[in-house]
């Protein structure tokens, strides 16, 4: 629909959710608006519209809790297996969520680093070595962002690389969701049905209602731990200063296996997915800024008991799938995490354990399918389609880093027309 007004006519009303660019903001709105181009505008043209950085749609509440399926299992494991303090973990995740929402103006997620978390849980790294891992991975991400290396790398990559990694990650999340849902099949099935019924209802926070229903059913059936009797207090994180030996231990054990996964999933694929989901908005999300914000967050959080964390394409798909479109969703989940960390302390573990695995699995299933669909593998043909499917299969069978290393040479050959199939 054209936005141009003919002579003598009043200008058309702006599309839903936006207002004319340059419109004065309310005095209490301290955050700049997000510029938005209409469909008739060329990519380089100055945006005609803008939207508020924080939206008021009730579906933002649903989207805020859409990524708990990738958050809670890692956090529970870190607290129970290696003795991480809940206060430092929840506080750092919450503050990073608040910053990400305010800085980007989009539902950019904050997630535990998966490969590093797997090492932490299997090798039982002590909290000081985990802090060393956070410091080293944060420093490396900061260097890659400041020097512009990550941006140059992203520009050189064929489109099939991001699509293959995105498709594989989405299918892997969906499979993990099915596995978690099957922990209590009847409960997982009921939550999936409820999510299906609520997805089309724009006024209802589907993910939040589904989680509440899952918790209620888990309590009634006795398949979840009972609701804890909480006593609130003021809890502050303890300072952790690792020795050089512990920094090296964290670097070798956790940072080295994590860095390729972060650069592919948390940076390159997240930036690509953001451009797909928000093509008309002029936002700050790109490979360089994602590297910088993840690096700074880890450097600041590690000495206070923070867990290695980054952004992630799966988390973005989850937030978006359940209704998040603005900074409101990350602000909501960030405030919840800060409150849990500061006022619940060690009782935070008992609080998050009441969420049944089956309910988390249902959320993961839907967001994984959404992420896989967004890869749009059907836009590729012949050799390029083969590369996309191969990288997706390798991501599931091995991991995204291995898929990147093995698939990149084939992607380059396919792009140059030298891979004939």
Backbone angles phi, psi at 209, to 5 degrees: -65, -40
351 burial class (0-12, 13-18, 19+ CB within 10 angstroms)?
middle
| pLDDT for position 157 | 82
| pLDDT for position 12 | 53
Backbone angles phi, psi at 284, to 5 degrees: -95, 0
Q: Please give the torsion angle defined by the CA atoms of residues 360, 261, 110 and 119, in that order, rounded to the nearest 10 degrees.
A: 70
Q: Where are the alpha helices (DSSP H) in 322-399?
A: 328-344, 348-352, 357-374, 382-397
353's CB contacts (< 8 A; 6+ apart) are 76, 224, 225
**pLDDT, tens digit (0-9, with 9 covering 90-100), for 110-148:** 999 988 888 888 888 899 999 999 999 999 999 999 999
Average pLDDT value for the chain: 87
Query: Which contiguous run of DSSP H or E holds residue 51?
Result: strand 49-51
DSSP state of 169: H
The model's pTM is 0.88
Are the CB atoms for 129 and 246 separated by under 8 Å? yes
**pLDDT, tens digit (0-9, with 9 covering 90-100), for 286-341:** 999 999 999 999 999 999 999 999 999 989 999 998 889 999 999 999 999 999 99
Q: What is the spatial distance between Cα 143 and Cα 362, in angstroms, rounded to a whole number?
A: 38
Three-state secondary structure call for residue 309: strand
**416 or 245, which is more confident:** 245
What are the residue boundaries of the structural domains of the chain, listed by start?
1-6+14-52, 59-226+242-374
**pLDDT, tens digit (0-9, with 9 covering 90-100), for 247-291:** 999 999 889 888 888 888 899 999 999 999 998 898 999 999 999
Number of H helices, E strands in the chain: 19, 5
Task: Determine the length of the chain.
Answer: 421
Three-state secondary structure call for residue 289: helix
8's CB contacts (< 8 A; 6+ apart) are none
Residue 171's nearest CA partner among 398, 392, 414 is 392
Could you tell me how far CA 300 lies from the centroid of its own chain? 19
Backbone angles phi, psi at 19, to 5 degrees: -140, 165
HSE, side-chain direction, 13 A CA sphere, residue 291? 25
Q: What is the spatial distance between Cα 87 and Cα 342, in angstroms, rounded to a whole number?
A: 6
**pLDDT, tens digit (0-9, with 9 covering 90-100), for 64-94:** 998 988 888 888 888 988 889 999 999 999 9
Residue 187 predicted with pLDDT over 80? yes
183 burial class (0-12, 13-18, 19+ CB within 10 angstroms)?
middle
Q: What is the spatial distance between Cα 10 and Cα 341, in angstroms, rounded to a whole number?
A: 53
Residue 85's nearest CA partner among 357, 340, 353 is 340
Are the CB atoms for 335 and 94 separated by under 8 Å? yes
Residue 122's nearest CA partner among 114, 111, 131 is 114
Residue 396's nearest CA partner among 185, 178, 76, 182 is 178
């Amino acid at each position: 629909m054209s936005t141009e007004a003919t002579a003598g006519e009043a200008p058309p009303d702006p599309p839903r959710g936006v207002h004319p660019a340059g419109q004065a903001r309310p005095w209490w709105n301290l955050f700049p608006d997000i510029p938005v181009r209409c469909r008739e505008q060329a990519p380089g043209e100055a945006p005609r519209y803008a939207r508020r950085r924080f939206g008021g749609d009730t579906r933002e509440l649903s989207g805020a809790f859409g990524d708990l399926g990738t958050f809670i299992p890692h956090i529970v494991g870190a607290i129970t297996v290696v003795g991480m303090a809940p206060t430092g973990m929840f506080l750092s995740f919450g503050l990073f969520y608040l910053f990400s929402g305010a800085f980007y103006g989009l539902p950019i997620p904050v997630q535990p680093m998966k490969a590093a978390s797997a090492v932490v849980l299997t090798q039982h790294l002590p909290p000081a070595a985990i802090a060393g891992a956070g410091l080293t991975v944060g420093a490396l991400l900061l260097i890659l962002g400041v020097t512009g290396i990550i941006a140059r790398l992203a520009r050189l990559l064929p489109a099939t690389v991001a699509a293959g990694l995105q498709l594989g990650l989405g299918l892997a999340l969906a499979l993990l969701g099915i596995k978690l849902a099957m922990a209590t099949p009847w409960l997982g099935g009921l939550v999936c049905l409820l999510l299906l019924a609520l997805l089309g209802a724009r006024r209802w926070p589907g993910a939040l209602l589904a989680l509440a229903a899952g918790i209620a059913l888990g309590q009634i059936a006795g398949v979840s731990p009972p609701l804890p009797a909480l006593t609130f207090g003021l809890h502050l994180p303890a300072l952790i200063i690792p020795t050089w030996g512990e920094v090296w231990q964290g670097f070798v054990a956790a940072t080295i296996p994590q860095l390729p996964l972060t650069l592919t999933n948390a940076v390159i694929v997240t930036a690509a997915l953001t451009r797909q989901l928000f093509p008309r908005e002029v936002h700050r999300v790109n490979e360089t800024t994602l590297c910088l914000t993840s690096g700074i967050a880890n450097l600041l959080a590690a000495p206070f008991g923070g867990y290695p964390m980054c952004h992630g394409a799966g988390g973005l798909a989850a937030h978006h799938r359940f209704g998040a479109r603005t900074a409101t969703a990350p602000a909501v989940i960030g405030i919840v995490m800060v409150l849990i960390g500061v006022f619940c302390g060690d009782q935070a573990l008992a609080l998050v354990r009441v969420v049944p695995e089956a309910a988390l699995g249902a959320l993961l299933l839907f967001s994984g399918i959404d992420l896989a669909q967004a890869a749009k593998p059907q836009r590729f043909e012949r050799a390029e389609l083969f590369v996309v499917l191969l990288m997706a299969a390798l991501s599931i069978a091995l991991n995204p880093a291995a898929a990147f290393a093995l698939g990149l040479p084939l992607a380059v050959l396919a792009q140059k027309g030298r891979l004939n199939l």
